[in-house]
Amino acid sequence: MGRDYYASLEINRNATDADIKKSYRRLALKYHPQNNNKPGAYEKFNELAEAYDVLSDSQKKATYDKFGEEGLKGGIPEEAGENGAWTEGYTYHENPEKIFRQFFGGDNPFADFHTKDGHEVNFAFGGLRGRGVKKQDPPIERDLHLSLEDLFYGCTKKIKISRRVMNENGNTSSIRDKILSITVKPGWDEGTRITFPKEGDQGPNNIPADIVFVVRQKSHPRFTRQSNNLIYTAHVSLEKALTGFSVEVETLDSRFLSIPINDIVHPNYSKEVPEEGMPLASCPKKRGKLIIQFVVYFPQKLSPERKELIKQALHT
């Protein structure tokens, strides 16, 4: 036996939409954690939200009435769907506060109630937002992982999202896919935010959340990035560090640079190459620097003869 949503809301199976709303309104206020701290109150509050989420939606209710909880959550064959029955498996989102806010249209429905002696009920419930006032859901943030090449050249990313949208009758909703297109500009930094206003789930009493994508830069095999500069690490022997050499660097746009190093490479030494870094987001024609850092390998052993030669060579 599956759960009985009608029993949860204390109504019978002939209840009208108005009966369902009236019962949920009464019981949700009674068992809301802000108004009831008795053991089991939150579990009851959550149970009421799931029952209302199903019975207030004509398609979900039709499926539940015919196939019970098992058919509702497990899905039913397409050919079995009739009279508007929902043929997709239902999953409760376990967010009773969201159902509560959507139903009452605000965070403080208690402000509209008064005690029997005429005094207003005073509940500290997150502000004085009355019924009927829509509140926007919090932004939904998702990471957008991009390669260093994506951020060097710029690109277009298309991302499919699934969201709940209201049907034309204004009372029921369904899940639909949508493609969001992001035009990545050359030089964007890690942490750049791209906002798609009000693309979250729709509901009768809420303003859909904004969907925000946050740029996250993938690691790169040759370069690390510091603002608009690219950092390249070259590994050289002590001999080359003291006598000079050239560094071969393959750039992000597949060119090969041969950079002569005529200075002595000491522990704090680095070589800067102008205009070989990342494009500036504000002016893509300009670029940062390529900064070459060095790791010097020292020999693990030296013969006495070689030590003597080094002493003579370094003697001042």
Task: Map out the domains of the chain with their CATH numbers.
Answer: 5-135 (1.10.287.110), 139-217 (2.60.260.20), 223-314 (2.60.260.20)
Q: Which two tokens stand for residue 177?
A: 């896919």
CA distance 199 to 180: 9
d(CA 291, CA 305): 37
Q: How far apart are CA 27 and CA 15, in angstroms?
A: 16
Closest C-alpha among 78, 83, 79, 77 to residue 59:
83
Distance CA 61, CA 52 (A): 10
Contact 98, 52 (CB under 8 A): no
| Tokens of residue 150, six digits | 């994506």
pLDDT tens track, the chain, 316 positions: 578 999 999 999 999 988 999 999 899 888 888 777 888 888 999 999 999 999 998 888 888 888 888 878 877 665 544 454 445 677 888 888 888 888 876 555 554 443 444 443 333 333 333 445 678 889 999 999 999 999 999 999 999 998 888 887 766 778 889 999 999 999 999 999 999 999 998 887 788 999 999 999 999 999 999 999 999 999 999 999 999 999 999 999 999 999 999 999 998 999 999 999 999 999 989 999 999 999 999 988 888 888 888 888 887 6
How far is the C-alpha of 57 from the C-alpha of 204, rounded, in Å?
Answer: 11
Which has the closest alpha carbon to 222: 155, 288, 147?
Answer: 147
Helix axes 41-55, 58-74, angle to 10 degrees: 110
pTM (whole model) above 0.75: no
